[in-house]
Amino acid sequence: MRVTVRLFARLREIAGTAELTRTVEAGATVGSLWKDLAREHAALAQYERSISSAVNADYARMDRPLADGDEVAFLPPVSGG
Amino acid sequence: MALSTTSGSLTTCDPRVYTDKVTPPTPLLAIERAPLGLDLILGAVSQADSARGGADGAVVTFLGLVRNHNAGRRVLYLEYEAYEPLAVKSFERIAKEIHHRWPSVVMGLHHRIGRLEIGEASIVIVTTSPHRADAFAACRYAIERIKQIAPIWKHEHFEGGDVWIEGATADPDDVRAREAAERAACA
């Protein structure tokens, strides 16, 4: 399955890109995708406990299973207003 | 006679009058790149509220401005970034929460992104209701919830460096956070 990953703010800077695509195995979840990314970019690991995630522009939990074509967003702690 | 000529010529030179673009109606909830216009948002709220026909006695507005200092640093400017579709959905969620808690309130909320200079407004919130207590409470609730759950980030550029400001881990289902916002609103 292919999924699109969107990264924002500091996460975007760490990864050096705002958007990337990844091929994941059946049974992959938001959380397993995050772990893949954190292996590629060690500096992401510090966000393990503070990120939020979204699938197709709706907030989603880390155990959410992925489907082909999903857009998965990882969001560092927010600071709007 | 002279007066009418003068006023005719002024009108001709006003770019707002002669434009090819049809201005779409201002939405109640939006992410904007251009400077925020309080009058436009007030207009959108009163439009949305027009069915009530004069029932409102209170309008509360909140503007969040870019401050020239933060945590002991001299701030030069801010850059805001958003996950736009989810940000607008989070505004809709906050509007629903307000409708549930303060049914008489109508809210408009626009957040700006991109580069903002000192003194510019990053957010405008407008609430209306028949009585002031609900309008004040809902307006305060809205800004507290924005800081909790809107996927928006500020990148602070200060004298000597820059830093991403990181506040709350966004979780719209976190009941404790929502209750904290409600307590702040009703204090």
Q: For B2-42, give the secondary structure using H, E and C.
A: HHHHHHHHHHHHCCCCCCCCCCCCCCCEEEECCCCCHHHHH
| Pairwise pLDDT comparison (B50 vs B183), residue with the higher score | B183
Cβ pair A78:B80 closer than 8 A: no
Query: What is the count of structural domains for chain A?
Result: 1
What are the beta bridge partners of residue B6?
Answer: none
Tell me, yes or no, whether A20 lies in a domain: yes
pLDDT at B17: 52
B154 → closest Cβ in A51, A52, A79: A79
Q: Is the pLDDT of residue A70 over 80?
A: yes
Identify the closest residue of chain A to B148 by CA–CA distance: A78
- CATH number for position A37: 3.10.20.30
The pLDDT of B141-145, averaged and rounded, is 98
B16 pLDDT band, cuts 50/70/90, is low
Task: Look at residue B6 in the predicted model and tell me its pLDDT.
Answer: 39
DSSP H helices, chain B, are 2-13, 38-48, 84-101, 132-149, 175-185
The residue in chain A having the minimum alpha-carbon distance to the alpha carbon of residue B112 is A81
Contact across the interface for B153 and A57, Cβ inside 8 Å: no
Helix (H, G, I), strand (E, B) or coil at A12: helix
CATH 3.90.1170.40 fits B26-185, yes or no: yes
Q: Is residue A29 domain-resident?
A: yes
- Closest CA relative to residue B171, chosen from A32, A50, A33: A50
Instruction: Decide: B88 and B31 in contact? Cβ < 8 Å.
Output: yes
Name chain B contacts of A54, Cβ cutoff 8 Å. Answer: 83, 86, 151
For residue A7, tell me if it sits in a domain: yes
Residue B54 CB partners (closer than 8 Å, separation 6+): none
Distances (CA, A) of A81 to A18, A38, A66, B36, B78: 22, 29, 31, 13, 12
**Which residues on neighbouring strands pair with residue A7, listed in sequence order?**
A74
Q: How distant is the Cα of B6 from the closest Cα of chain A, in angstroms?
A: 45
Q: Has residue A32 been placed in a domain?
A: yes
Note whether residue A81 is domain-resident: no
Please indicate whether, in this complex, the C-beta atoms of B86 and A79 are within 8 angstroms of each other. no
Read off the tokens for B81: 């970034």
Residue B42 has pLDDT above 50, yes or no: yes
Residue A80 lies in a domain: no
Which ipTM was obtained for this model? 0.97
Model pLDDT, residue B24: 79
- The C-alpha atoms of residue A48 and residue A38 are separated, in whole angstroms, by 8
- For A26-39, the pLDDT digits (tens) are 999 999 999 999 99
Phi, psi dihedrals of residue B46, rounded to the nearest 5°: -70, -30
Spell out which residues of chain B touch residue A51, defining contact as CB-CB under 8 Å.
169
Beta strand B69-70 with B73-82 is antiparallel
Percent of chain B with pLDDT over 90: 80
Q: Is residue A52 part of a domain?
A: yes
Please choose, from the candidates A2, A55, A40, the residue with its C-alpha nearest in 3D space to the C-alpha of residue A24: A2
Do B97 and B89 touch, CB atoms closer than 8 A?
no
Cα B184 vs. chain centroid, distance in angstroms? Answer: 19
Contact A9 B169 (CB under 8 A): no
* pLDDT interval class at B22 (50, 70, 90): confident
pLDDT tens for A4-63 read 999 999 999 999 999 999 999 999 999 999 999 999 999 999 999 999 999 999 999 999
Q: Please provide residue B169's backbone torsions phi and psi, each rounded to the nearest 5 degrees.
A: -75, 120
Show the domain range for A55: 2-75
